Amino acid sequence: MVILTLVGASTVGMLGTAPSASAAIRLGGVDMQRACSVQWAHFGPTTAIVLDQRNAYSWKCRSNYTGVIVGGIDVNRQCVYQYGWGAYAGLGSTTNPYSWYCQR
Query: 55: pLDDT confidence band, cut at 50, 70 and 90?
Result: very high
Reply yes or no on whether the pLDDT at 17 is more than 60: no
Q: How many C-beta neighbours within 10 Å does residue 22 have? A: 6
Reply yes or no on whether the pLDDT at 64 is more than 50: yes
Q: What's this model's pTM, rounded to 2 decimal places?
A: 0.78
Query: 95: pLDDT confidence band, cut at 50, 70 and 90?
Result: very high
Reply yes or no on whether the pLDDT at 94 is more than 90: yes
Give me the mean pLDDT over the 48-70 stretch.
98
